[in-house]
Amino acid sequence: MADRPLSPHLQIWKWGPHMLVSILHRVTGDGMALVGLPVMLWWLGSLASGPEAYAAFQGHAMSWYGLIVMFGLSWAFFNHLCSGLRHFVLDMGAGFELNSNRNWSVGSIACALILTVAFWAAMIAL
């Protein structure tokens, strides 16, 4: 057997935005599952438990650490959404050219940031 890897490894591949988007897609999916689901269940449970329980949830959610978690979850959602749309286009067989793939990757990250800021601007305006 040869003393070389069977497939290209990190020493060969040049880091690019498509790699970042792919990694972030996995991380945001896991983050929404591991953090978002318990937060959503806590929110639903506090809604069902009455005004005191909901006030306790709201107190945590509106604190500085709660806002960081909520902002992070909203960014994770929008990033996963935009990245998923990018993957959908790739699954159709389009966007594999280097420049197109790079532009879709950068656009995916930028769109997620813009949507997150717009969402929080709308939430604050309410």
- Positive or negative: CA dihedral 112, 114, 115, 119: positive
Q: What is the distance between the alpha carbons of residues 36 and 50, in angstroms, rounded to a whole number?
A: 22
25 is in an annotated binding site: no
Place of tokens 């992070």: 72
The binding site for heme consists of: 80
Question: Where is the binding site, in residues?
Answer: 80
